[in-house]
Amino acid sequence: MGDVLIKVRGLKNQFGPNVIHEGLDLDIHRGEVLGIVGGSGTGKSVLLRSIVGLQKPVAGSITVFGVDLRTAPRAEMARVENRWGVMFQDGALFSSLTVRENVEAPMRERTGLDAETRRALADLKIAMVGLPPKARTLYPSELSGGMRKRAGLARALALDPEILFLDEPTAGLDPIGASDFDVLIRNLQQSLGLTVFLVTHDLDTLHATCDRIAVLAERKVLVTGTIRELMRVDHPWVRSYFHGPRAHAAMLAAEG
Ligand SMILES: Nc1ncnc2c1ncn2[C@@H]1O[C@H](COP(=O)(O)OP(=O)(O)OP(=O)(O)O)[C@@H](O)[C@H]1O
């Protein structure tokens, strides 16, 4: 496995009396696609948000590219942020901007690129995620759910990130759209050498895209491993998830 790009140690998150994570440890290695699974409300999104700095943990440390995010000065933090891209569940696009303007937004905010270069790079990213040229000038409300997700992915790729965070990328897509998106993620990951942190419920996505899976349960990362390794884990949630009828169908589909 590659070197550790993200190291989480002793993470604790709590909202009022509700402790979401406690003593959570996780390593993410360079070049892997790590799937994060767990029951509803186990804190998959909160974990993602903690790593990208949108949620301040109560305790613990998060190190990305060797930089401790708790103590990093603002400028160093900005340099780290420029090396990752985040695609949120609903795409989180700016509704008043076109697709191209959405993809240009991180470049406008974080680089000194001139308008012409920004536009050319944005159009490249839009093509990379499989959107047609006509999508460049459309507004999010004019896009289908699948196109919005692709636009969100193009924006996450705007700064040529090394790490890509994806929060339930296939949620809400029909099975064909979801499987196309799985292939897109895998192809981009391989051609761009990305490290991917992928929150999902989708067993087909796990099979199609993930090298390794981390299971959130009991407020921590209960176990990590390949699907085959996790199938041997004797824990009620892990068993029901990896041995249920949907898991069986996903396994058969993956074995094709
Ligand atoms: N800002 C917040 N304030 C209070 N509670 C929150 C906040 N954000 C998340 N939570 C709570 O933290 C818990 C974990 O939420 P999170 O969205 O991370 O779960 P999840 O594992 O991603 O769930 P799902 O699979 O349903 O999307 C939930 O109980 C949620 O209500």
Cα 46 to ligand 1 centroid, rounded to whole Å: 6
At residue 256 the predicted structure's pLDDT band, cuts being 50, 70 and 90, is low
Which of the pair, 214 or 242, is modelled with greater confidence?
Answer: 214
128 and 167 housed in the same domain: no
Q: CA separation (Å) from 178 to 3, 74, 142?
A: 30, 38, 20
Which residues are within 8 A (CB) of 176 and not within 5 positions of it... i.e. 6 or more apart? none
Phi-psi domain of 129 (left: phi exceeds 0; alpha: psi -120 through 50; beta: other) = alpha
pLDDT of residue 138: 97
Strands 59-64, 4-15: pairing kind: antiparallel
Measured in angstroms, how far is the CA atom of residue 184 from the centroid of ligand 1?
28
What digits encode the pLDDT tens for the residues 10-64? 999 999 999 999 999 999 999 999 999 999 999 999 999 999 999 999 999 999 9
Provide the residue type at 228 as one letter.
R
- pLDDT band for position 243 (50/70/90)? confident
Residues 132 and 220 in one domain: no
Q: Does residue 76 sit in the same domain as residue 177?
A: yes
Element (H, E) at 46: helix 44-51
**Residue 242 confidence (pLDDT) above 90:** no
In whole angstroms, what is the distance from residue 196 CA to residue 85 CA?
10
The verdict on 73 and 119 lying in the same domain is: no
What is the model's pLDDT at position 244? 75
Distance 128 CA to ligand 1 centre (A): 32
The protein residue whose alpha carbon is closest to atom 30 in ligand 1 is: 41
The residue type at 30 = R
Q: What is the total count of domains within the chain?
A: 2
Q: For residue 168, which atom of ligand 1 is closest to its CA?
A: 27
The per-residue pLDDT for range 193-206, each reduced to its tens digit, is 999 999 998 888 99
Residue 123 in this model has a pLDDT that exceeds 90: yes
Judge whether 103 and 158 are in contact, CB under 8 Å.
yes
Q: Are residues 75 and 1 in the same domain?
A: yes
Asked if 102 and 94 count as a contact pair (C-beta separation under 8 A), the reply is yes
Range of the domain at 105: 95-160
Q: Is residue 235 part of a domain?
A: no
Tell me which of 135, 160, 185 is where a domain ends.
160
Measured between alpha carbons, how far is 256 from 225 in angstroms, rounded to an integer?
22
Same domain, 125 and 140: yes
Q: What is the pTM of this model?
A: 0.94
What are 131-153's pLDDT values in tens digits?
Answer: 999 999 999 999 998 999 999 99
SS3 sequence of 94-142: CCCCCHHHHHHHHHHHHCCCCHHHHHHHHHHHHHHCCCCHHHHHCCHHH
Chain length of the chain = 256
The reply to whether 67 and 193 lie within a common domain is yes
Buried b (16+ CB within 10 A) or exposed e, 91-116: bebeeeebbbbbbbbbbeeeeeeeee
ipTM over 0.85? The verdict is yes
Assign residue 169 the CATH number of its domain: 3.40.50.300
What is residue 248's predicted lDDT score, i.e. its pLDDT?
67
> Judging by DSSP bridges, how do beta strands 195-199 and 84-87 pair with one another?
unpaired
Q: How far apart are CA 18 and CA 14, in angstroms?
A: 6
Q: Cβ(233)–Cβ(224) under 8 Å?
A: no
The two beta strands, 4-15 and 18-29, are antiparallel
Please name the residue whose Cα sits nearest to atom 24 of ligand 1. Answer: 40
